Structure 1
């Protein structure tokens, strides 16, 4: 049979079944409603059934769906509800209920209670699992496709004068067509799951019923029964299997097939069916108009029906197997015939089998098509997966095709040359060879196509190396947290060493990487490896490559490991450590390791494990003697710098920006005595995250001395920061210098973003008779404000803005190990009205984070830090006191040549010590 003729016949059968006008244009895409009852779907039966907020139940959608709309039901789920559908579509605009993925691919679901279709028309249901069965009544133009119901309750009933109901490509236990229903079509279905007792298909008083291309399994008596006034029915291309199982109602009852009563025989036709049973059992395959016919010949002679039927007493050799009599033997023009089977497999012509179907057609009998199983191209092999240019590479491939017809193979070697096409028999192995002329990372793709257009492909990579000798090479780059996963676990100083730039003619057998810090790693090929260094520095990294031919090559070079430029992530301040609550003290000379939190270690504060530096407010209190505290990254030697200076019995605080050390820890150590230590977490810096920083010339935002109203415990105190002093309205955090003067008692001040949620942290510890300063980095709160609170007494406060963080921030921060830049104790004190110049910052730095300490002052004064060469601002960075050593965290612009000026305003002379904690460079 010519394929063109077969295609016409199959298309005609499909058009007859579905009622489609020939050449009709595609309808406009329908609107969709969605049903999804999973716990995380956010579903609601009171909504509108959108994709984001679907209905929880099918019933909710069934109550509101309109003509032309499709209800998409999420697959793979169970819906424990009885569903009744009684709404109708319009001609050409049916209502559709389809089980499918978000992308529209077909799926299945289970309905655990009955489904009823009552008084509906122009309706389509696809992909339903009907465990309790489906009943159609008083309905018209209903298509049920891909239904399933495998237990004894998964049956189909069409009745109560329903018309033009079509059930296709489904698997159900039984079907009953009754009650005056007309023109019901059953096509490409499997009936009789579990070998049901009695007829698997029963037609009673249902004229014009069509039963075509079904596989039907029955137990004992007739498998398909047509009775009552079911005249004008049609039974074609069915495979009817009679089985006997334990529990058969009448074990001695003869096996049967088709039964058509005398009242239903008028104008009823039956042909191209196959009836089979169990060997050794009596079989009466036909009962027509009240008479049983034990043989096909008697049946044909008496009724004129079944001219092309096949009757065999054994099920052996029947089905989806080689040589089955069902293959290429059906009537493609039969009423309700479909060109694809229950699983969508198209009709295929098995060239090994004569086409005995009507007019020489090759449609198969039953619900299934026995087609070419061509689905894989295996094995596919390359004799060389890595070889130098000029070497011949041979590819071999075979398929799992079972047709004897030849396949067309196309081989694309992936280097831009024209594909090679060859024709081989299905049982033969394809071989093709190619010589690559230049190095490449190529993919060889083989595609096989059989005679009906089924296509399968497989690919294998091959590496074509240079024709020269093995030459090792590598790149070493820092591994930064990706911007779309800022909480990933990548520690600072993590580097990727990638040897893939090695010129390797032959396959590499091993790579040895020496990271230069005593660590090494062996890998089998040229893939990148990661390594985390304990500290910054210059390391000599070596890579040695060995290939399968025994050649060896080594490459070495110096790699600079350092912190990466980072953005600032502001957080709600929270208390990280308070040794007083643990009834312990920090002892001089004994470093305390402090673990910086990551992930959800602190409830309500999800933090990254990839931070390069942390910003902390560090308070030392209850000191037994005059001492200083140093904070530095774990894994590093203790630097010759200090962060907090405290007198015996005193309390002192300072902001500290400290790089993150090994295992995400920092160390804190007193030089002598003992004291309690309090640490508040303020924020952190991280590559590819957070906001940039813009340094500002220090500008005064608030001085309560001007109003005469100090900060007091009973006063609600906020300061507007956003939109003032060069700080934009959308700034996320601000850097402020906070100074207290005229304190009435020992107390502490907290600066925080939201007045409604006072922080349990502190930033500055005022004392009577002392001017004290500390820098504060705080998120901007509602309406662009920050709030201040003092726990007891009162004090005047002075707030100077020194910079802000925001989306338009101009610079990123690079942490450094604490390092001393200048110490006037070796050059002489800074006199009043003069400035000392601090150099040693990178020439491209636009800002710096410094720890500035004043010591041995002869009289009270204040220091101001600003960019070298810039106009000196009227603001303070640090307040000194005679006989006291006073440090402060200072964020300042950097001037020409990487220099900062520190000016002594008035009063006495003082020594100034400057340590760098990091610097800002333009993005």
Structure 2
């Protein structure tokens, strides 16, 4: 609002202007109308309002040649205020009812003058004036005038618009918005921020609205989440509201426009929407350089130095150990090994501050030696509990990485890895290529994703299987840098077929026979054994298109074919069934699940394979579980889900019951999504793979 000023000289320099007597104040606009409506919210002004004799002193002024101006004057606690609009016809013309004139700050041939006090332009303003009514006396002088107008600076698109009435019986609608909405700084992928735009009806007649919409540069960053305006006729004096949710899709400033059609002369209200997106690390993965042993009940590392008793849950501190941050972790990736159990049982690993779930992390018979990859949510103070169902057993826990749960810490590198599930692909099988790895021997494996993507691989997700080892022992999978770490990945008995999932940090191999460095890893075996390695996913450097981030949950059972949960019964030979993920565990952004799949008492030695459903892809030539007859065997499975939130499970031979527990979900991160709502098809394609003796 601008302070009141001398008007006659401003109206026309050097000309004599006639000021018509001010209109008498009145409680509400009634015919004949003398009113001024201005909406300058688009330009960030403060002159938006609807004035008439009831709330302001209205001062119309007329110069020769239909040079008309109308000013509203009123008082505020800060002092007297005023605002004004001038309308002049083009040179040599008079204002004609029913005509729409192109207009600018100064008139010219065929162009009217339109001056709006609320709009200050560096160069000329450009707009239009639509004359609704003109009345003249016998001398041809104006006695009544009505018009609608709009004006914007020549180098901008933001408009000031409104209505003018003087002694007119032409009614008018006035809609006054509350102004542009700034959502501030919001993290991409987190909860949206809401703001509310109000629209007030201030004309002589009701305001009528169409349907609100969002358009402009970045409409996907904003959503209409509440609306009491669209399709409504709003009586004079009432207010309605449109609520907008701002959720940035990129790590930058994003803008859009809220458009509300109305029955004003301009035909709509348009208000700018602005949000500044920033990319955090929540849900990204950070691999450790080498796995770290958190717990070993055989020697008291981390916890008690004795077997875990029946029904006992031991508490294990995870955060702040082995290079893990002291806080800000949502979940960790563990390898849990069972050795020397006295009875058939299972272990459940779960957040220490939550009730024990009806789920298992690793299942085993008496006397068993084996391990399983376990992704587990942490308690608020960075702890887990390890529960043993029956008998006594020793347990060993190694950690290989963690998922970020907050942005307060600054790890190195600062941006964590995002996951890309792949169609399972066999990288190598020593049974058909090179023969068994000798005891205390190792092999280096590598994968080529092309010159552009290979350097962006931070970790590989592998299903590693020990096949018919000569003696009981273990495999260790690591980046290949330095000595073999004191941690195991697959623990096996003599002659068994034992798989385990591993998320392994890679190193760049510059001498793997490619023209550029490719990601590589190493596999060590303590006893002579054949080894099969299947690639099931990739963790990138946080920048690759359509990367996924992780949200952990307490282990949640979604399949138990023994009771009909998720599957109607045991899977027969060569049978595929689809499992639907419960709605509580997925959102529209979910693209993959972290699960623990258990085969229960198969009638024959078999192979279980899991892959996304409803995508048109056939069963991949890779396995997730290789259970023997009568065994209860678990393995971690990271599987994509199809457009119906389903995944397939296939049993090769005999029949077997299946149990599946979900420990978290992977969701499409908007800042790297190729487009909003993308299906997240991974850009990683294996061009070549190989292995060699180290």
With normalisation by structure 2, the TM-score equals 0.51
Contact 1:763 1:776 in 2 (8 A): yes
* Residues 918, 477 of structure 1: alpha-carbon distance in 2 compared, 3 angstrom cutoff: farther
Choose 617-626 or 606-615, whichever is displaced more.
606-615
Alignment correspondent of 1:595: 317
CA shift, 1:710, in A, is 1.0
* Corresponding residue of 2:120: none
In structure 2, the residue matched to 1:566 is 283
Farther off after superposition, 566-575 or 680-689: 680-689
Task: Specify whether residues 768 and 726 from structure 1 end up closer, same or farther in structure 2 by C-alpha distance, changes over 3 A only.
Answer: farther
From 373, 376, 398, give the equivalent of 1:655: 373
Counterpart residue number, 1:836: 577
Q: Are 1:863 and 2:597 an aligned pair? A: no
Contact 1:696 1:726 in 2 (8 A): no
Structure whose alpha-carbon radius of gyration is higher? 1
In structure 2, what is the Cα distance between the partners aligned to 1:478 and 1:594? 37
Q: 1:778 is matched with which residue? A: 504
Deviation at 1:732, TM superposition (A): 0.2
**Structure 1 position 606, deviation (Å):** 4.8
Instruction: Give, in whole Å, the separation in 1 of the partners of 2:632 and 2:550.
Output: 28
* Counterparts of 2:458 and 2:466, CA distance in 1: 25
From 870, 889, 911, the counterpart of 2:657: 911
Residues 763 and 724 of structure 1: CA distance in aligned 2, closer, same or farther (over 3 Å) = farther
Q: TM-score, normalised by structure 1?
A: 0.39
Matched, 1:805 2:539: yes
- Render the CA deviation track for 1:577-611: whole Å, top value 9, x for unaligned: 1121212221221211111123xx43xx2526111
2-structure distance, mates of 1:666, 1:908: 37
Any residues of structure 2 matched to 1:691-702 within 5 Å, and which? 691-702=417-428
Residue 607 of structure 1 aligns to a residue in which SS? Answer: coil
Q: Cα–Cα, structure 1 residues 622 and 478, in superposed 2: closer, same or farther, change >3 Å? A: farther
**TM-superposition CA deviations, 1:85-126 (whole Å, max 9, x none):** xxxxxxxxxxxxxxxxxxxxxxxxxxxxxxxxxxxxxxxxxx
Q: Does 1:434 align with 2:169?
A: no
- Aligned ranges 1:493-892 → 2 under 5 Å: 566-572=283-289, 573-582=291-300, 583-598=305-320, 601-602=321-322, 605-607=323-325, 609-687=327-405, 689-723=415-449, 728-783=454-509, 784-791=519-526, 793-807=527-541, 808=544, 810-826=547-563, 827-840=568-581, 842=586, 844-869=589-614, 870-892=617-639
Deviation at 1:434, TM superposition (A): 3.2
Matched residue, 2:649: 902
Q: In 2, Cα distance between the equivalents of 1:834 and 1:868?
A: 14
Whether the aligned pair in 2 keeps the contact of 1:568 and 1:691 (CA below 8 Å) is yes
Preserved contact between residue 617 and residue 681 of structure 1 (Cα < 8 Å) = yes
RMSD over equivalenced CA pairs, Å: 3.6
Task: Give the Å deviation of 1:767.
Answer: 1.4
Q: Whose strand fraction is larger, Structure 1's or Structure 2's?
A: 2
Q: Is 1:893 aligned to residue 537 of structure 2? A: no
Distance 2:579 2:184 in 1: 32
2:481 and 2:347 map into 1 onto residues whose CA distance is 32
Indicate the SS of the match to 2:454: coil
CA contact (8 A) 2:442 2:525 kept: no
The one-character-per-residue Cα deviations of 1:488-532 (angstroms, maximum 9, x if unpaired) are xxxxx9x99x9999x9xxxxxxxxxxxxxxxxxxxxxxxxxxxxx
Give the Cα separation in 1 of the matches to 2:502 and 2:356.
25
Distance 2:641 2:377 in 1: 20
- Deviation string, structure 1 residues 128-154 (Cα, Å, up to 9, x no partner): xxxxxxxxxxxxxxxxxxxxxxxxxxx
Measured in 2, the distance between the counterparts of 1:751 and 1:479 equals 39
C-alpha distance in 1, partners of 2:627/2:555? 22
Offset at 1:812?
A: 1.2
| Structure 1 segments unaligned to the other structure (5+ residues) | 1-414, 418-432, 438-475, 484-492, 504-563
Partner of 1:765, secondary structure, is: strand
Distance 1:608 1:663 in 2: 9
- How far apart are the structure 1 equivalents of 2:310 and 2:654? 32
Contact 1:721 1:727 (C-alpha < 8 Å) held by counterparts: no
On the 8 A contact 1:743/1:767 being kept in 2, the answer is yes
Aligned equivalents of 2:194, 2:589: Cα separation in 1: 33
Deviation at 1:669, TM superposition (A): 0.1
Which one has more relative contact order, counting CA pairs under 8 Å at least 6 apart?
A: 2
CA 1:898–1:581 in 2, change beyond 3 Å: closer, same or farther? same
CA contact (8 A) 2:466 2:475 kept: no
C-alpha deviation, 1:479, in angstroms: 11
Structure 1 residue ranges (4+ consecutive) displaced by more than 3 angstroms after TM superposition = 433-437, 476-480, 498-501, 724-729
Q: Which runs of 5+ in 2 are unaligned?
A: 1-44, 48-76, 82-182, 199-280, 408-414, 510-518, 670-694
Mapped contact 2:627–2:633 kept (Cα < 8 A): yes
